[in-house]
Structure 1
Amino acid sequence: MTRDAGQSRAELTDRFGRAVDYVRIAVTSACNLRCTYCLRDESEAPQKTRQLDAGDASRLIRVLAEMGVRKIRFTGGEPLLHPGIAELVSIAKTTPGIDTIRITTNGVLLDRQLDALVKAGLDGVNLSLDTLDREKFKSITRRDRFEQVRKALDRLLATSGLTVKINTLMLRGINSDEIPAFVELTRNHAVTVRFMELQPFDDRQIWRTGRFMGAEMIRERLVSACPELNAVTGHSTEHYSFRLPGHRGSIAIIPAFSRNFCNDCSKLRITADARLLACLYHHESIDLAPALKGEMNEEEIKKRIIEAVQQKPKDGLKSSHDTAASSMSRIGG
């Protein structure tokens, strides 16, 4: 490592010694689904959408890479609604210092865009999919798009060279009976199925309606359905990780609310309106819009990024006074 690279890495270390090398960029706040746990129906509460300009995103990625960021995840909203998403993947992939480019998507548009994304250098896809049943899908998302998403899932499972994860948000009494069906996907495919807790970023709709399903309850249901599970080591956010004998893939449980992962947090988030968030649970942010309008040079941009890193709390959940924040579509998933 050169002296300059070492200095850059040091710049993105927070007050508690955590190195920041991962940025999630919400390229748009728009979404083509209206999941009940995320957004109100647009007829009830229309919201202005934001979209990050491709040139602005490119500039930010270059500066972040110079400061030690190695992993970029494009999110939204639904990132595939951004007209330049494949271009953004290519830009990030060819930026010196960036090692990994991934995307989180609901899959509605993925089948038609997957080839271009892979060609651009995409390394991995997290597919947000809460049910394998068409009628439940319509009920959860308020849209009849299951066939498109199922086709995208099948394409993903057949595409080599991609890291594929399925994010399944568990809702008591809605999809809690589908654990065995999701686990079955790991039999013949090297996919990780991740059962996740609901977080309090639901546009203030169903968080307090009794649909929350905690990690321990998910684990109990999973072990009951699949008693031959073997524990394995997963990603730091995957509190429980398992594999079934003879299965190519793995299963994980992410206690997204009941257990926080602040001690290992290496992330920053950039919203579609160019605000930099150091912590998922904080409303405070740093406005990067002036920088993107050419009102700041790169050194000033770097100072703002360093400022954000130094604002990271030791424990964001405990220090947050209002966990019922806005929808994840506004924050960036």
Structure 2
Amino acid sequence: MNSPKQKNAPLVDQFQRHIEYARIAVTAHCNLRCTYCMREEHEYHTIADPELSSREVGKIIVALASIGIKKIRFTGGEPLLRKDISVLVRQAKSIAGIKTVSLTTNGILLDRHLDELIDAGLDAINLSLDTLDRERYLAITRRNEFDRVMSNLETLLAKATFPVKLNVVMMRGVNGDEIKDFIELTRTHSLTVRFMELQPFDDNQIWKTGKFMGIDKITEQLRSLNPGVQKKQGKSTEYFSFSLPGHQGSIAVIPAYTRNFCSSCNRIRITSHGKIISCLYDKEGLDLMPLLRNNADNNMLTELFRHAAAHKPADGKSAAEGQTRTSMSEIGG
């Protein structure tokens, strides 16, 4: 039997990486159908599957906080499809040990939730937007929501009392010519624009069709367009981080397929159906639902998290062997 000290020991994997960050998908459903993520019919088979309740999300976060998790990010699918999303944020903020609670969204429903999220104490928002062109937005997302998202982004930048990041998935021949336009947003707004590689998880595997745009190409264009760009220290997941003279915001380049940040990975993921995913390339995961549905105590939950951390691979390449995943929506990004 574990001693109290062992039970409360920080979550550390076999490579001595301290796991302090949990991404919790609160739904697998999404109100967009981005071409690099999912087919129109992708999620239909999941509709009947039970998703985590607010009580279960709370139990998970309490367990995680007790073993050293300090940062929670709510993801999806699209997390704002959960009507109780502000309740989940407020609940997470009230749990001892949790330092920051953030959210990743496509922005469509921000007008319904933003005030409540701010009031609940949300610490940061990442908004996913891959183009500043209305027609391209429709082509990428297959939904006519561009005007609403842009309006919500403007409101967010005006109201937010916390950091805002714009996630831009770069695709050759699709939006590769918009780097300059996105950078211009940082001139008058205190936000971070993050140019991201395609993930090798999508229903159509378009990253294999010549649309993949690697970090080297992104960085090359960035430097070519902005000779005055200044490199600064970025976070572990940010291959490069930049600032521009006279700009309020900043720019970052985020690897995905090239995965140069595995050695410093400090995160664990929980799917909306209660699976613990220790690595993006971990296909199976460990199932929390039996414990949650049988009112397992905190110790039983933390033991399962420790088991997941113990089997966290050294890097994505070793975890990916023989594994396939059809969409990032399955694990919340």
With normalisation by structure 2, the TM-score equals 0.95
RMSD of the alignment, in Å?
1.7
CA contact 1:317–1:323 (8 Å) conserved in 2: no
Note if 1:173 corresponds to 2:173: yes
Give the Cα separation in 2 of the matches to 1:85 and 1:249: 28
Shift of 1:112: 2.0
What SS class does the counterpart of residue 104 from structure 2 fall into?
Answer: strand
Cα deviations by residue, 1:41-81 (Å, 9 ceiling, x for unpaired):
12x77332353211110111111111111100000000000
Shift of 1:324: 4.3
Amino acid at match of 1:47: H
CA contact 1:29–1:78 (8 Å) conserved in 2: yes
Shift of 1:154: 0.6
Note if 1:47 corresponds to 2:45: yes
Give the Cα separation in 2 of the matches to 1:297 and 1:94: 19
What SS class does the counterpart of residue 187 from structure 2 fall into?
Answer: coil
Give the Cα separation in 2 of the matches to 1:257 and 1:170: 12
Shift of 1:241: 1.1
- Say how many residue pairs are matched: 329
Shift of 1:258: 1.4
Question: Unpaired segments of 5 or more residues in structure 2?
Answer: none
Instruction: Say which is worse superposed, 46-55 or 149-158, in terms of deviation.
Output: 46-55
Shift of 1:210: 0.7
Q: What percent of counterpart residues are identical?
A: 50
Indicate the residue corresponding to 2:36 in structure 1: 37
Give the Cα separation in 2 of the matches to 1:88 and 1:75: 12
What SS class does the counterpart of residue 306 from structure 1 fall into?
Answer: helix
What SS class does the counterpart of residue 139 from structure 1 fall into?
Answer: helix
CA contact 2:29–2:43 (8 Å) conserved in 1: no
Give the Cα separation in 1 of the matches to 2:302 and 2:146: 43
Note if 1:327 corresponds to 2:327: yes
Shift of 1:181: 0.6
Shift of 1:316: 2.4
> How is 1:101-180 mapped onto 2 (pairs within 5 angstroms)?
101-180=101-180
With normalisation by structure 1, the TM-score equals 0.95
CA contact 2:11–2:309 (8 Å) conserved in 1: yes
Give the Cα separation in 1 of the matches to 2:57 and 2:213: 36
Amino acid at match of 2:11: L
Note if 1:279 corresponds to 2:291: no
What SS class does the counterpart of residue 186 from structure 1 fall into?
Answer: helix
Give the Cα separation in 1 of the matches to 2:10 and 2:167: 32
What SS class does the counterpart of residue 140 from structure 1 fall into?
Answer: helix
CA contact 2:75–2:104 (8 Å) conserved in 1: yes
Give the Cα separation in 2 of the matches to 1:260 and 1:102: 24
Shift of 1:172: 0.4
What SS class does the counterpart of residue 207 from structure 2 fall into?
Answer: coil
Question: Unpaired segments of 5 or more residues in structure 1?
Answer: none
Indicate the residue corresponding to 2:65 in structure 1: 65
What SS class does the counterpart of residue 252 from structure 1 fall into?
Answer: strand
Indicate the residue corresponding to 1:12 in structure 2: 11
Amino acid at match of 2:293: K
Note if 1:27 corresponds to 2:26: yes
CA contact 2:259–2:316 (8 Å) conserved in 1: no
Give the Cα separation in 2 of the matches to 1:165 and 1:77: 18
Give the Cα separation in 1 of the matches to 2:258 and 2:14: 25
Amino acid at match of 1:27: V
Cα deviations by residue, 1:115-163 (Å, 9 ceiling, x for unpaired):
0001001000000000011110000000000111101111121124211
